Structure 1
Amino acid sequence: MQGLKIRYTISVVLLSVASFASAEPLQPDPAWQQGKLENGFSWQLLQTPQRPNDRIQLRLAIKAGSLSEKANEKGYSYLIPKMALLHQSEAFPATTLQNFWRQATDPDMPIPPAVVSYDYTIYNLSLPHNKPELLKQALNWLATSAAGATYTETSLSNGLSVTNAPVATLPVDASDPVWRARLKGSAMMGYDPGQKIKHDVDLESINEFYHKWYTPDVMTLYVAGHVDSRMLSDAISQTFSSLEGKRSEPVSVAVLSQVKPQSIDILQEKQVNDSLSLIWDIDWQPINDSVVLLRYWGSDLAREALYRSLQKTFNQKFSQDEVTSNLDCRVQYQKASCTLTVAAAPEKMMAVADVVLNELSTINQNGISPELFDEMINEKQAQLSQLFAAYARTSTDVLASQRLISQQNGVVDIAPEQYQRLRQSFLVGQTLEQVNMEVRRLLSQEAAFVLTQPKEKQLMDAEQIRQKFTKVLWPQAESSSAAEVGSNTAKEPAVKAPQ
């Protein structure tokens, strides 16, 4: 459905499981072969004979990021990938390196060759198929430039001077006011992944930091593509077994703060429409058995039902394209949240906000319609019947990315056969009452409100809208907070977003 973007990231709302069978362990998809070298370096490989012409995807995930930095090392985790991408060696002189990157980047779907976050760094390579020598070269580059390098003064100089190195960060914009609000109270505050070096840095300190944190026992190589698994596993062993070092300190794990009920105003210079977002915090736990998976599916179905009901109301009350919306649910750093966003012209936003409030209130009281429930279950059944055909059409870059996301979030990546069986059982057992119970559970939680407006057309503020919603949906919260008004307001000051 247009506008619906429920991503492959997981959240769990606790639900009565009396109707569910006893927990069945989820079995990792055996199609993903796994291995571990004596030095602790891990690898995972998915052969894709059903996609023989797809590019071969390589992802090297390293459990090291900006949380590893001390005060005098700020910016090191962002500098090192820039050095790695430009690192020249005997095997990769300038011309060879330039030619390698030309082939190791998908021209139709380019992704950053390196991504840095709070607790991990990922290197991404995408190779054309049927080029075994290039695959060996890629493994060699990962082992000598990303995973086991000894950087030179030239590497350091290049890394410090380059301004357009394709190194991305997650989050993309750590200065975003909504993200800054999420960081409050967390150990991640002050460790932005994209920090620039603000002081003189010497090569010895960089190499010391690198060899301390970039050790083989915290590295995993993911490969997805039409390759010879035996030859590739041998090549991985030969290439990475010489890496040395062992992590002497625990792996730093980034944990985000919960979403707090609050209001945030953002003013932008070049904004055309208003955008209103409601953000709910969602209970989260890793998914490793069938009971937890069924809980997730139940809450996911309820969120989609709420969203689709709202979409139908928009279609009835507004002309086409007058209002746009989406629902985005994701796990970020051990916390899950869902964001419902609606966008409209500034002069329409108050009316749109009122429609959202009235519809959520109506759903909270009456539930979703039986017709919508039946429509959704029938659609899910039809989608499930096409599961294996859809899997065969899934590209290698999506397969590799899904595997990586699953493992980062503690989700067992199960085989299509187990998925089909559990999903069918789930759909057959769903009732309108269960879905409505989950919808009400979501709506019982106070949301954070974010209002983005054009600076020259600021017609309202987020707190004004939040108070209207609180009075209708969360009157108990309004009563409990009345005594605090004037001494501890939840409203954030208006913020001018970066241009």
Structure 2
Amino acid sequence: MYLFVPDYSMYKFFRTTLTALWLTTTLVVAQPATKARKAPAKTASTTRTPADLKRPIPFDPNVKVGKLPNGLTYYIRRNEEPKNRAELRLVVKAGSVLEETNQQGLAHFMEHMAFNGTKNFPKNELVNFLQSSGVRFGADLNAYTSFDETVYQLPVPTDNPELFERAFQILEDWAHNATLDPEEIDKERGVVLEEWRLGRGAQQRMRDKYWPYLLNNSRYADRLPIGKEDVLRNFKKEALERFYRDWYRPDLMSVIAVGDFDVAKVEGMIREKFGRIPKATNAKARPTFTIPPHPDTKVVIVTDEEQPNTVVQLIYKRPEIKETTLNDLREGIKRSLFNIMLSNRIQELTQRADPPFLGGFSNYGSFIGNLDAFSSYAVAKGDNVERAIQTLLDETARVRRFGFTPTELDRARRDLVSGAEQAYNERNKTRSSAYVSQYVQHFLKNDPVTGVDFYYNFLKSTIDGVKLDEVNQLVNQFIAPENRAVVIMAPDKSKDKLPTVEQVIGWIDNAGQNVTAYVDQTLDSPLLRVQPTAKPIAGEKKIQELGVTEWRLQNGVRVILKPTNFKNDQILFTGISFGGTSLYDLKDYESARFASTLTTLGGTGDYNQIQLGKYLSGKSLSVNPFISELQEGVSGSAAPKDLETALQLLYSYFTQPRKDAEVVQGFLSNQKSFLENQIATPTPAKVFQDTVQTVLGGGNPRRLPLRPEQLDRINLDRAIDIYRERFADASDFTFVFVGNFTELNIKPLIEKYLGGLPSTNRKETFRDLGIRIPAGQITKTVYKGVDPKSTVQLVFSGDFNWNPETTTQIDALAEVLEIKLTEKLREEESSVYGVGVNGSYAKYPAERYTMRIGFSCAPENVEKLISKTLEEINALKQRGADPKDIDKFKAETRRETEVQLKDNNFWLSYLTNQYFNGDDPKEILMEEEQLKKVTVESTKAAANRYFGKNFVRLVLMPEKR
């Protein structure tokens, strides 16, 4: 529930923070944070003079900002997406960096205590009240603590005036009415310590070693928000009260409200409730901490016995760039163009025959405290640290020596404008949650708050004037020898193969001596060699209640259409057909499971993968073929203006699969290296996950964890053949389209690109492989890991009757049990950070359900907590659910459905599932009828039915040493 070290700027093109990347152990490398491109009030001219650029960035006129006499700042914006909803925030400019030595962890602890008793909501009444109103604990009601701030988030309905006003009372209570009951403090110690325990592992141990070097022994290096274990166990109430008293004060607070409401009324509520908070007297000055520069290069090499991969980070720290004038905004455009072009180059390296690393990026963006940074990151292939570092260094050296090319800049401009154009087109359909983070950052760091229309028009009028030389020169600003740090994290087993500090510095100092100019590989030819022959609609059916139309095309393709006005610039689609890998014997299984991946790695038609990406630059679309166990299909999305291109790409993937043996060889080599690393140094989580997968799959070869040797069984030619087989006949495909289109304007595109798909009219379905979770009772304990933490999974499964009533009862049973286990294991026992209960079900290949219960805890508490869990299950069997918990489930479901019914993603998923399962699409209209059937007696019956004799108990324990 409680997050820290977040990154949340509204218009960032790459969202993942460096901190998050330091904590990752997976192969997939997300794009990092870049300096925020603020949300795009109209420009009067299409040219810019130097005098124009000296003007300040205008503040969005749609946002009302005010300050109360006590110093509290507020931001209010009316926004009708979603209807009858509001996003509320209480922002406190106080985080872990303000803690005294005996308070380390108490900024975060204080955040917890805000949910454990206030003046108007004693003990856990706040959570109970909101759950009863349809606000989910964790999913909706949440908070986070970071180094410099604490932010409470509360999404609430606005169609209930009493509830809406109570929400502001909650914010006020958080601000100055927390009770800090000693009994609740002691109970919450266990919860926070369990959260601390969850963070333990190789990443934390290595971070503790390199963090002081990276942050140059600044205050940030010694004030991680999670705090110190001994402080959390032993702090006195007075220390927590002192932090609350010193830093939770109105001059350090902001209230943010965005949603479907009357602005004047909201402003009145804020003034009334928050105006009565006394102005701070004799207040401490709020210090600003910095990370001091250093003239040298700090190289830190750390290893750990549970670290599976060798990871390299090159970080050039720079003073934070503040954007205040239009020229600053223009400079930000230059940085975005630089990041896009360099990211594209590095992405290309992983798409070649012999990739230099498993994944990587280079990017200029936000860092920590008063710093930005140019950062390069790579997961080395095997132990080849030198190649990973040299490649990252060579790419920046290549830019320094030769610059980017005009064609690269042209594509980057198109991509940047396309992203801003989408935001502009959606300006009246943007969700309130997308706005609040911008106002949070304005309050905390005085980041600009521009209107979407202003930014879009500024970008369009400015971007063509940004010259290539200007962007090329940025590399000299970003990369300099001072204030530089290198971090290498590796498995213990690789210690003898790691470079010395002197070697690393030598590589840096001598980088790029032999680089040559970048060659921009492009292709200028039609995506489709031959245009498809359109086939007309042969039949039509309307489902008026849902606004859905079914078309049957002459080639047998079925098309489901739901035009919506939920988003202006979005069309989503899927296409599915029965079959999948289930139709292939084990000898072909590996080729079949990788068939869609390996085929699309080749590109399509005349375009290889790199050329295809460049061809699609500036377009807002995605098309992704897939082959799963029971089906094959395609998923995608497009802006209305790019729908035809998306359908051309879809048609091409069906009819023009392309083989690229060299790229596939590189991909499989990377995958094999990654798997070998995981096996050589398996993390406790990986070992446990593999065990769960093996046990629940009954040891079936198709359910075993992927091993390196399995990749050797892949035959590329056979994989391409299987792909062709799966997509050779479109007559049994059902396509679903949801979004901003009309039947009239989409009809010719459907008839041409879907009606023109090949059709053999074969009759085909999937094959039931008989893979089931084993019957009976199974217990399996895994001993792995050095940290004192355990993970528990309890799994019940069996056959059931597929219908709307049974699936609703399973959903209800899972929710009421989760509510009860959260009360018992977290609030009463204080022995878990969180507990999850998931009820899932499927119609194919057989009607089966699964109930999973999971939590992490201290090893010594495993048996006690499993026993408590089974006691709660037995109580459900004997007495049924508490009526209050049933009411919470119904309220949450109704509120969630209200929003889902106005969401394209929901309708795409819902309609796709209904047609895949052969169910009535109108079932959604009967939800209220099904909810009425959830009663104390029905939950009792469901508990006895679904918590049966098929029970798997899986536990991860630390190694016995």
Q: Structure 1 length as normaliser, TM-score?
A: 0.81
Please name the residue that 2:180 is paired with. Answer: 151
- The structural deviation recorded for 1:219 is 0.9
Please name the residue that 2:287 is paired with. Answer: 252
Q: Distance in 1 between matches of 2:66 and 2:50?
A: 39
- The structural deviation recorded for 1:246 is 0.8
Q: Does 2:325 align with 1:325?
A: no
Q: Does 2:92 align with 1:62?
A: yes
Indicate the SS of the match to 1:43: strand
- The structural deviation recorded for 1:286 is 2.0
- The structural deviation recorded for 1:427 is 0.6
Q: Does 2:281 align with 1:272?
A: no
Q: Distance in 2 between matches of 1:48 and 1:168?
A: 40
Indicate the SS of the match to 1:315: coil
Please name the residue that 1:429 is paired with. Answer: 465
Please name the residue that 1:480 is paired with. Answer: none
Please name the residue that 1:399 is paired with. Answer: 435
Q: What amino acid sits opposite 2:277 in the alignment?
A: L
Q: 1:9 to 1:417 in 2, by over 3 A?
A: closer
Indicate the SS of the match to 2:487: strand
Please name the residue that 1:117 is paired with. Answer: 146
After superposition, the C-alpha distances for 1:223-242 in whole angstroms (9 at most, x for unaligned) are 22222222222222222222
Please name the residue that 2:671 is paired with. Answer: none
- The structural deviation recorded for 1:209 is 4.1
- The structural deviation recorded for 1:392 is 4.4
What is the aligned counterpart of 1:137 among 166, 182, 200?
Answer: 166
Q: 1:110 to 1:253 in 2, by over 3 A?
A: farther
Residues 88, 94 of structure 1: 8 Å contact kept: no
Please name the residue that 1:453 is paired with. Answer: 490
Residues 147, 215 of structure 1: 8 Å contact kept: yes
Q: Does 2:264 align with 1:230?
A: yes
Segment of structure 1 superposing worse, 382-391 or 432-441: 382-391
1:194-343 equivalence runs, <5 A = 194-196=226-228, 197=231, 201-204=235-238, 206-246=240-280, 248-258=283-293, 261-318=297-354, 323-327=358-362, 329-343=365-379
Q: Distance in 1 between matches of 2:357 and 2:511?
A: 26
Please name the residue that 1:4 is paired with. Answer: 31
Please name the residue that 2:72 is paired with. Answer: 41
What is the aligned counterpart of 1:179 among 205, 211, 220?
Answer: 211
- The structural deviation recorded for 1:429 is 0.6
Q: What amino acid sits opposite 1:448 in the alignment?
A: A
- The structural deviation recorded for 1:220 is 0.4
- The structural deviation recorded for 1:100 is 2.1
- The structural deviation recorded for 1:65 is 3.0
Q: Distance in 1 between matches of 2:197 and 2:327?
A: 37
Q: Distance in 1 between matches of 2:195 and 2:162?
A: 25
Residues 216, 245 of structure 1: 8 Å contact kept: yes
- The structural deviation recorded for 1:426 is 2.6
Please name the residue that 1:412 is paired with. Answer: 448
Indicate the SS of the match to 1:323: strand
Segment of structure 1 superposing worse, 411-420 or 126-135: 126-135
- The structural deviation recorded for 1:5 is 3.3
After superposition, the C-alpha distances for 1:233-268 in whole angstroms (9 at most, x for unaligned) are 222222222212415221122323347622222323
After superposition, the C-alpha distances for 1:159-215 in whole angstroms (9 at most, x for unaligned) are 434347879999x96954443323324344544433243675554554344223321
Please name the residue that 1:25 is paired with. Answer: 56
Indicate the SS of the match to 1:297: helix
Larger CA Rg, structure 1 vs 2: 2
Q: What amino acid sits opposite 2:288 in the alignment?
A: V
Residues 28, 415 of structure 1: 8 Å contact kept: yes
Q: Distance in 1 between matches of 2:131 and 2:786?
A: 32
Indicate the SS of the match to 1:264: strand
Q: Distance in 2 between matches of 1:129 and 1:166?
A: 33
Q: 1:436 to 1:356 in 2, by over 3 A?
A: same
Residues 118, 179 of structure 2: 8 Å contact kept: no
- The structural deviation recorded for 1:345 is 2.7
Segment of structure 1 superposing worse, 37-46 or 252-261: 252-261
Q: 1:200 to 1:228 in 2, by over 3 A?
A: same
Indicate the SS of the match to 2:113: helix
Q: 1:392 to 1:333 in 2, by over 3 A?
A: farther
Q: 1:223 to 1:357 in 2, by over 3 A?
A: same
Segment of structure 1 superposing worse, 424-433 or 446-455: 446-455
- The structural deviation recorded for 1:443 is 3.8
Q: Distance in 2 between matches of 1:275 and 1:199?
A: 34
Q: Structure 2 length as normaliser, TM-score?
A: 0.44
Q: 1:469 to 1:105 in 2, by over 3 A?
A: farther
Q: Which runs of 5+ in 2 are unaligned?
A: 1-13, 15-28, 39-47, 514-784, 788-961
Q: Distance in 1 between matches of 2:415 and 2:433?
A: 26
Please name the residue that 1:491 is paired with. Answer: none
Q: Distance in 1 between matches of 2:177 and 2:123?
A: 17
Segment of structure 1 superposing worse, 40-49 or 268-277: 268-277
- The structural deviation recorded for 1:30 is 1.5
Q: Distance in 1 between matches of 2:171 and 2:50?
A: 49
Q: 1:351 to 1:205 in 2, by over 3 A?
A: closer
Q: Distance in 1 between matches of 2:446 and 2:367?
A: 11
After superposition, the C-alpha distances for 1:89-144 in whole angstroms (9 at most, x for unaligned) are 4544545533425768657x837833233332222222345344333222212212
Please name the residue that 1:469 is paired with. Answer: 508
After superposition, the C-alpha distances for 1:427-482 in whole angstroms (9 at most, x for unaligned) are 111112111111343344564222222222343237333421212369xxxxxxxx
Higher relative contact order (CA 8 A, sep 6+): 1
Q: Which runs of 5+ in 1 are unaligned?
A: 12-16, 475-496
Q: Does 2:388 align with 1:357?
A: no
Please name the residue that 1:389 is paired with. Answer: 425
Q: Distance in 2 between matches of 1:204 and 1:322?
A: 51
Q: Distance in 1 between matches of 2:786 and 2:485?
A: 21
Q: 1:33 to 1:316 in 2, by over 3 A?
A: same
Residues 309, 372 of structure 1: 8 Å contact kept: no
1:479-490 equivalence runs, <5 A = none
CA RMSD of aligned residues (A): 3.8
Q: Distance in 2 between matches of 1:410 and 1:384?
A: 22
Q: Distance in 2 between matches of 1:402 and 1:242?
A: 27
Please name the residue that 1:84 is paired with. Answer: 114
- The structural deviation recorded for 1:287 is 1.3
Indicate the SS of the match to 1:130: coil
Residues 106, 127 of structure 1: 8 Å contact kept: no
- The structural deviation recorded for 1:23 is 0.3
Q: Distance in 2 between matches of 1:168 and 1:336?
A: 30
Segment of structure 1 superposing worse, 325-334 or 423-432: 325-334
Please name the residue that 2:156 is paired with. Answer: 127
After superposition, the C-alpha distances for 1:349-396 in whole angstroms (9 at most, x for unaligned) are 443433333333322211122221222123223334434124445432
Segment of structure 1 superposing worse, 351-360 or 421-430: 351-360
- The structural deviation recorded for 1:60 is 0.9
Indicate the SS of the match to 1:85: coil
